[in-house]
């Protein structure tokens, strides 16, 4: 085929044909199953924390805050920071459960949301759309501290898990 025929060939725009030839195109890295399983084992019990803040906080700063201010049974370690995500591990099962369910966590006045790590899920695909929080309304006049007002305020917040009935009774 002449050069002019190649330019006007119906396949001239098809880059796949050229890239599929040996020596052309990027090499594709295909990790071994053993290396993938090793990584899964390394992160299997880990948690993923998402920092909800415009500031960037380092892994070292996060570790120091955890060590100094979080009062847990065992140690919580920051293994890795990837963008706004932190990969953490907890020494005890009860600490891991507390980190997931007990409360929102604070790193230097920034909200850190926790979720369990899921195999074969990119970090940005984890569901961080909701968080349980304890909300306290201060300074309300006595006549407004009622079950009906608590329920109404709850609808403004969205989903209410529980209302402290001792406070409003």
Closest CA to 111 of 168, 50, 37, 40: 50
Bridge partners of 49, per DSSP, are: 86, 114
Q: Say what the pLDDT of residue 168 is.
A: 60
Could you state, in order of their start, the residue ranges of all structural domains in the chain?
33-125, 134-169
**Cβ atoms of 49 and 106 closer than 8 Å:** no
Cα 24 to Cα 7, 27, 30, 144, distances in angstroms: 19, 9, 18, 73
3 pLDDT above the threshold of 70: no
169 pLDDT above the threshold of 70: no
What fold characterizes domain 33-125? Alpha-Beta Plaits (3.30.70)
Q: What is the pLDDT of residues 12-59, one digit of tens each?
A: 444 444 444 555 666 777 888 898 898 888 888 899 999 988 988 999
Q: How many CB atoms lie within 10 A of CB 146?
A: 13
Q: Which comes out higher in pLDDT, residue 9 or 105?
A: 105
Q: How confident is the model at residue 80 (pLDDT cuts 50, 70, 90)?
A: very high
What is the H or E stretch that residue 15 is in? Answer: helix 15-19
Q: Which residue has the tokens 């030839």?
A: 21
Name, in order, each residue with C-beta under 8 angstroms of 49's C-beta and a sequence gap of 6 or more.
85, 86, 87, 88, 105, 112, 113, 114, 115
Q: What is the pLDDT of residues 121-168, one digit of tens each?
A: 899 898 888 777 777 778 888 888 888 888 788 788 777 777 776 766
Q: Which residue has the tokens 């009860």?
A: 94
Cα 142 to Cα 15, 149, 160, distances in angstroms: 74, 11, 22
């Amino acid at each position: 085929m002449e050069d002019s025929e190649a330019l006007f060939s119906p396949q001239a725009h098809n880059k796949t044909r050229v890239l599929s030839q040996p020596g052309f195109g990027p090499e594709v890295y295909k990790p071994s199953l053993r290396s993938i399983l090793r990584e899964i084992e390394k992160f299997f019990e880990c948690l993923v924390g998402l920092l909800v803040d415009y500031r960037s906080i380092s892994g070292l700063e996060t570790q120091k805050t955890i060590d100094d201010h979080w009062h847990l049974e065992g140690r919580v370690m920051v293994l890795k920071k990837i963008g706004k995500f932190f990969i953490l591990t907890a020494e005890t099962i009860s600490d891991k459960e507390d980190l997931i369910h007990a409360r929102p966590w604070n790193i230097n006045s920034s909200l850190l949301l926790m979720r369990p790590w899921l195999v074969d899920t990119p970090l940005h695909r984890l569901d961080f759309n909701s968080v349980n929080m304890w909300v306290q309304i201060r300074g309300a006049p006595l006549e407004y501290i009622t079950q009906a007002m608590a329920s109404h305020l709850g609808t403004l917040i969205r989903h209410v898990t529980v209302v402290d009935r001792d406070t409003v009774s």
